[in-house]
Structure 1
Amino acid sequence: MTEDRPDALYERLRTFEGRPAATGGTGKDPVNAPMIRHWCEAMGDTNPAYTGPDAIAPPTMLQSWTMGGLSGHTDGTGRSTAYDELLGLLDDAGFRSVVATDCEQEYARPLRPGDTVTFDAVIESVSPRKTTRLGTGHFVTTRMDVRTGGELAGTHRFRILKYAPARRPATPTGPAAPAARRPRPVVNRDNRGFWDGVAEHRLLIQRCTGCGMLRFPWLPGCNTCASPDWDTVEACGSGTVYSYVVMHHPPFPAFDPPYAVALVELAEGVRMISNITGVPYDKVRIGMPVQLEFLRFDDELELPVFRASEA
């Protein structure tokens, strides 16, 4: 990433720093047990602190209590024009593409069912012009302070890149064109053992040695008892389709839509996301039995997938 010298546009963009993006916002619903339960089920988080009469909300739900949902904040609560003006200025300058880059959260106190959430947001910073692999543009950071009862509960920082896409070299076509490579998985110290197992045609599940809870995907610690110690068990390979989507995105190198992506519940009880093979994408159904297999995509990449039969 490189940084250009400040220019006239950047000086205009900087005038938005410190201006409000939302003021006096109020959550559409109080903190409530059903949403906490849905969140924990989706995340596979079984921490007992989130259930019972003294339950708290998972801290990572902080921003969710401020969201307006599909209908938005129809009463206009908290809405400010400064953020829209800033994005419009970037659009007019040719930075019309956008990608979310990262977010940061700080927690000051737990939220509990019944708490009413209020929030204010400010445009915290606009970066100088940056050149990235995606293209050239500006990073915009907003900071949202979330309160309940006038007391700070937490802070959420959200950062996007508004950019003009970089020009891509023409892609060779014809018999001499190289085959498109499927994107490589990110392998790090927390999941390396899983990928070592895949290389041996073994599907390994983490098991907490403190409480015995199985977990997937791989994590550095246990959600149930917080123990950092674990070993592994090998999945037998049987499972069922718990849920699925059919991808219809535009053509993309190494992918051939439409195709099915499923959330598979393994016989051991954990769930993982993978492709379904052996049947047309429109024949995949919830509850369909599937069996693990390993599919090779090129000389370097082999991935676990699940094969089903129409029967």
Structure 2
Amino acid sequence: MTDLHELAAKQVALGETYGLPAADPVNEPMIRHWLDAMGDRNPVYLDKGVAPPAMAQVWTMPGVGRGAKERSPVDEIMAALNDQGFTGVVATNCEQTYHRYARLGDVLTPATRFSGLAGPKRTALGEGYFATWNVTWYDQAGEPVAEMLFRVLKFRPKEKRRPYPLKPAVNQDTGFFWDGVRQGELRIQSCADCGELRHPPGPVCPSCRSANRTHVVASGEGTVYSYVVHHNPPVPGRETPFVVAVVELPEGVRIVGNIVDCPPEEVGIGMSLRATFRAMDDELILPMWAPREP
């Protein structure tokens, strides 16, 4: 496997590597297209025969066919990172410096210098490396027109979990409950008029028939009221045997959930439990129950 830092040191040692000159000189039609695309109404460019400075990279973009023949010190580093699984990429810095306007008729040539590789670093996107390089655009006389520092994060994308097949129904009545689960809260619906708690949630209070609803956040404690150990039939996304329990909450309602972190044979009526929240895939979190420590 390629040592990334050794390869980076080799690429840095190459210094500036010149690419191919622009296929076309700086020209008015391309400037006009750029101004239209950017909504730039500044008349100075067409009046004075100069290009917007930010167009520097546009003149030497190689295109698909031409690009296959052109290599830079960055390409080998990018290929090595891809080979080692760092296939994700996101730009983090782009700093441009302008020495003068590019004028109509100028033929620009890019020169790339690889500056360094930092990593591995842990980021929110995943583990990766920060690669930095500089590009300078020279005119036909060899004078610099513009330069750019560019830095990207090449990261190893996190593996996505398979979607959990048993998705709960989320609707206007139950949305508040699942919003709470995502925040690590066990929410119980309550009547906004008489205050009675109810679970499962519903549109109307069974006590006073009010449709005004709110909720309270439960303590997250409970006891086993009853339970079953499921062996068969197989359940998609679950490994049997597993325990499904009716859990009695001190708030006065009961809720159904799986008991985890405990062998099925050790579950018993009256067992003290605490709520725990488990990610089933990249989107779904389910409330479950685990034995409460003495």
How does the TM-score come out when normalised to structure 2? 0.51
Equivalent position to 2:44, from 49, 56, 60: 49
Q: 2:55 maps to which residue?
A: 61
Structure 1 residues 12, 73: CA separation in 2 closer, same or farther (over 3 Å shift)? Answer: closer
Q: 2:249 maps to which residue?
A: none
User: Separation in 1 of the partners of 2:88 and 2:16?
Assistant: 20
User: Separation in 1 of the partners of 2:10 and 2:90?
Assistant: 22
Q: Is residue 2:16 matched to residue 1:29?
A: no
Amino acid corresponding to residue 152 of structure 1 in structure 2: P
Query: Residues 26-51 of structure 1, C-alpha deviation per residue, up to 9 Å, x if partnerless?
Result: 01110000000000000000101111
Query: Residues 135-194 of structure 1, C-alpha deviation per residue, up to 9 Å, x if partnerless?
Result: 11111112111011211101022222221112456766612569899xxxxxxxxxxxxx
User: Separation in 2 of the partners of 1:20 and 1:119?
Assistant: 13
Structure 1 residues 96, 48: CA separation in 2 closer, same or farther (over 3 Å shift)? Answer: same
Query: Residues 211-253 of structure 1, C-alpha deviation per residue, up to 9 Å, x if partnerless?
Result: xxxxxxxxxxxxxxxxxxxxxxxxxxxxxxxxxxxxxxxxxxx
Q: Map 1:236-251; keep pairs closer than 5 Å.
A: none
Equivalent position to 1:159, from 131, 145, 151: 151
Q: Is residue 2:102 matched to residue 1:111?
A: yes
Q: Map 1:1-311; keep pairs closer than 5 Å.
A: 9-19=4-14, 22-52=17-47, 54-73=48-67, 76=69, 79-80=70-71, 82-148=73-139, 149-168=141-160, 174-175=167-168
In the TM superposition, residue 20 of structure 1 has moved relative to its aligned partner by 5.1
User: Separation in 1 of the partners of 2:30 and 2:123?
Assistant: 38
Query: In 2, are the aligned partners of 1:26 and 1:118 still within 8 Å (CA)?
Result: yes
| Structure 1, 148-157 or 56-65: larger mean CA deviation | 148-157
Amino acid corresponding to residue 130 of structure 1 in structure 2: K
User: Separation in 2 of the partners of 1:12 and 1:112?
Assistant: 38
User: Separation in 2 of the partners of 1:24 and 1:96?
Assistant: 25
Q: Give secondary structure in 2 for the equivalent of 1:27.
A: coil
User: Separation in 2 of the partners of 1:21 and 1:169?
Assistant: 43
| Structure 1, 95-104 or 138-147: larger mean CA deviation | 95-104
Q: Give secondary structure in 2 for the equivalent of 1:25.
A: coil
Structure 1 residues 177, 147: CA separation in 2 closer, same or farther (over 3 Å shift)? Answer: farther
In the TM superposition, residue 65 of structure 1 has moved relative to its aligned partner by 0.8
Query: In 2, are the aligned partners of 1:109 and 1:154 still within 8 Å (CA)?
Result: yes
Structure 2 unmatched runs, 5+: 180-294
| Structure 1, 111-120 or 35-44: larger mean CA deviation | 111-120
Query: In 2, are the aligned partners of 1:95 and 1:164 still within 8 Å (CA)?
Result: yes
Structure 1 residues 96, 106: CA separation in 2 closer, same or farther (over 3 Å shift)? Answer: same
User: Separation in 2 of the partners of 1:134 and 1:26?
Assistant: 36
Structure 1 residues 137, 177: CA separation in 2 closer, same or farther (over 3 Å shift)? Answer: farther
Q: How many residues align?
A: 170
User: Separation in 2 of the partners of 1:94 and 1:14?
Assistant: 20
User: Separation in 2 of the partners of 1:139 and 1:21?
Assistant: 20
User: Separation in 1 of the partners of 2:128 and 2:42?
Assistant: 41
User: Separation in 2 of the partners of 1:24 and 1:66?
Assistant: 9
Q: Give secondary structure in 2 for the equivalent of 1:15.
A: helix
In the TM superposition, residue 12 of structure 1 has moved relative to its aligned partner by 4.2
Q: Give secondary structure in 2 for the equivalent of 1:26.
A: coil
Amino acid corresponding to residue 44 of structure 2 in structure 1: A
**Percent identity over the alignment?**
38
In the TM superposition, residue 18 of structure 1 has moved relative to its aligned partner by 4.0
Amino acid corresponding to residue 58 of structure 2 in structure 1: S
User: Separation in 2 of the partners of 1:55 and 1:81?
Assistant: 31
